[in-house]
Amino acid sequence: MIPVRWSSVRLLALAAGLAAVSAVPAVAERPSLLPAGWDADIKLAEAPDRNPDPGIVEIEIVAKLAEVEVAPGTRVTAWTYNGGLPGPLIRARVGDRLIVHFRNELEQETTIHWHGIRVPIEMDGVPGISQPPVKTGETFVYDFVVPDSGLFWYHPHVMSAAQVGYGLYGPLLVEEPDEDVGVADALTIVLSDIGIGPRGLLEPADSGGSAGMVFGREGNHVLVNGRVRPELRARAGVPQRWRIVNTAKSRFFFLDLEGQTFIKIGGDGGIQEYSERKDVVLVTAGERVDLIVMPMGEPGGEITLRSLLYNRGYGSIEYRSVEDLFTIQFTDEAPLPAPVLPEMRRAIVPPAVEGATPVTMQFTLPPVDGKGESEFRINGVPFWKAEPFKARIGETQFWTLDNQTPWDHPFHLHGYFFMPVDEAGVPISPMEWKDTLNVPMNETIRLLVTFDERPGEWMIHCHILDHADGGLMGTVLVGDVKPSSHHTHVPPR
């Protein structure tokens, strides 16, 4: 087992100005107002904790092939964690030690990356940089403290577009015990897709060749917690908390509940500065949102959560249809009046722009080469030709991400949260900590990031995973460390 720097990990909760959510200590458990089995068709399997210590969550995760049913009569042999799609929900509380005994039973090497968790570099799951790949039949123990509340997720960082597309992903929910959002009934929702061919086999990960890479391949079956169009049962007017993660390798989800209002209370890094009401919510690849929803409808009727068309680049809206995600079937009971919910606020201290080191990253997509191949580039070079960016321990940097391509890029930074800001470095309201942020086509966004005491080589990449494999990826060397030899590797096409 790789030793964990316990002092470094425990200090994480104090780093980067992350403040606690305003909450009342010892929150009383609220009784459910929904019918029994309301979430039976959508509820996730959970990873059993095998450690009796209340401060330790110890589980087993096995990567293996398994037949799964995504819709009645539609089955496919997918790549899975513990035989399910998605992988099991891992539950922990802020400050818990998480120990994951991982075994690889696939015929291809793999790893687990803990998306959004501020782990030590040895636990980040990137082969050739933070750990060796886990080969067939081998094991690896991931062991770290979870310092922040929020919904996170786990997935491979070996042939990521292929392995995630085939089914290797799962949610990790870290809860703050004293947090009270005024809602008894909660769901963890994993949005994804999978490509199944006419013979019932997984679609090849290289379908469409270079053009498929540029588009970012989307599966032909859209999934909610591993199923096509599942159903919830609800009483109209009863609030629900939906924590949602988009684990699709390319697809964006533009959420609409038949025009009803969402209350967004948080995202990647937990609760945001203050809540906001939204008619539609965009969740790009890798992102998470935390929503309060009060579905309304006629007794005995139903409404549908849909993903509207969103233009993330050519081919993403042309000849496409709105996707039905799941239905909400109402009971025959009369609607309840809208409850008074507590005001969700969080005191967040953003990084200071004064003295921050400017860093510019320019995303480009040159014309295809003589072989008909395309590659994305950061500052003129694809990942396999790039030198790492550099940062000092404790340094704050002001990043400008300039997207000169005709495609959106959900930008992800491993190991750290950052703060979206405007041209002057002023935080965008409501403030929230992010680890994944969309950079729209032909637009520029800016962010502030402070690198704490955790030295290492940390990945940056587009979370349209085909784009990352196609060159839109890099690393940041934090502290006095040597770069890996990973930069000389040309990814398979």
What would the 3-class secondary structure string for the chain be? CCCCCHHHHHHHHHHHHCCCECCCCCCCCCCCCCCCCCCCCCCCCECCCCCCCCCEEEEEEEEEEEEEEEECCEEEEEEEECCECCCCEEEEECCCEEEEEEEECCCCCECCEEECCCCCHHHCCCECCCECCECCCCEEEEEEECCCCEEEEEECCCCHHHHHHHCCCEEEEEECCCCCCCCCEEEEEEEEEECECCCCCECCCCCCHHHHHHHCCCCCEEEECCECCCEEEECCCCCEEEEEEECCCCCCEEEEECCECEEEEEECCEEEEEEEEECCEEECCCCEEEEEECCCCCCCCEEEEEECCCCCECCCCCCCCCEEEEEEEECCCCCCCCCCCCCCEECCCCCCCCCCEEEEEEEECCCCCCCCCCCCEECCECHHHCCCEEECCCCEEEEEEEECCCECEEEEECCCCEEEECCCCCECCCCCCECEEEECCCCEEEEEEECCCCCEEEEEEECCHHHHHCCCEEEEEECCCCCCHHHHCCCCC
Q: Is the pLDDT of residue 487 over 80?
A: no
pLDDT grade, residue 348 (50/70/90)?
Answer: very high
Single residue among 144, 175, 206 that ends a domain in this structure = 175
Both structure tokens of 280: 């539609």
Last residue of a domain, one of 175, 199, 224: 175
> Does 160 lie in the same domain as 199?
no
Q: Is the pLDDT of residue 222 over 50?
A: yes
| Nearest Cα residue to 473 out of 397, 415, 411, 418 | 411
Tokens, residue 301: 């009727």
348 inside domain:
no
With respect to residue 1, please indicate whether it lies within any of the assigned structural domains. Answer: no
Identity of the residue numbered 425: G
Write out the residue range of the structural domain in which residue 97 sits: 6-175
Pair (107, 213) in one structural domain: no
238 domain-assigned: yes
Domain contains 385: yes
Q: Does the pLDDT value for residue 27 go beyond 70?
A: no
Domain check: are 274 and 314 in the same one? Answer: yes
What are the backbone dihedrals phi and psi of residue 487, each rounded to the nearest 5 degrees, phi first?
-70, -15
Query: How far is Cα 362 from Cα 400, in angstroms, rounded to an integer?
Result: 8
Q: Are 189 and 322 in a shared domain?
A: yes
Examine the domain organization and report whether 171 and 219 are in the same domain.
no
pLDDT at residue number 372:
75
Cα torsion angle, 244, 248, 252, 258, sign: negative
319 and 171 fall within a common domain: no
Nearest to 441 by CA among 217, 252, 207: 252
Q: Is 146 within a domain?
A: yes
Least confident of 186-190, 305-309, 383-387, 483-487: 483-487
Residue where a domain stops, chosen among 175, 197, 232: 175
Same domain, 124 and 215: no
Mean of pLDDT values over 337-350: 91
Q: Does some domain include residue 344?
A: no
For residue 396, being part of any structural domain is answered with yes
- What's the CATH code of the domain at 324? 2.60.40.420
Tell me: do 248 and 155 sit in the same domain.
no
Residue 310 to residue 101: CA distance in whole angstroms: 39
Does 85 lie in the same domain as 33?
yes
pLDDT (tens digit, 9 = 90+) per residue, 398-425?
A: 999 999 999 999 999 999 999 999 999 9
29 with 55, same domain: the answer is yes
Strand partners, 266: 271, 290
Cβ burial of 217 (10 Å; 0-12, 13-18, 19+) is: buried
With respect to residue 493, please indicate whether it lies within any of the assigned structural domains: no
pTM assigned to the model: 0.93
**pLDDT confidence of residue 2:** 33
Q: Are both 302 and 441 inside the same structural domain? A: no
- φ and ψ at residue 209, rounded to 5 degrees: 55, -140
pLDDT at 15: 39
The number of distinct structural domains making up the chain is: 3
β-sheet bridge partners, residue 448? 398, 419
Mean pLDDT to the nearest integer, 34-59 = 97
pLDDT in tens, 116-164: 999 999 999 999 999 999 999 999 999 999 999 999 999 999 999 999 9
Tokens representing residue 115 in the block:
């998306």
Per-residue pLDDT reduced to its tens digit, 227-253: 999 999 999 999 999 999 999 999 999
Q: Are 246 and 396 a contacting pair, CB within 8 Å?
A: no
Domain identity same for 280 and 146: no
Residues in the chain: 493
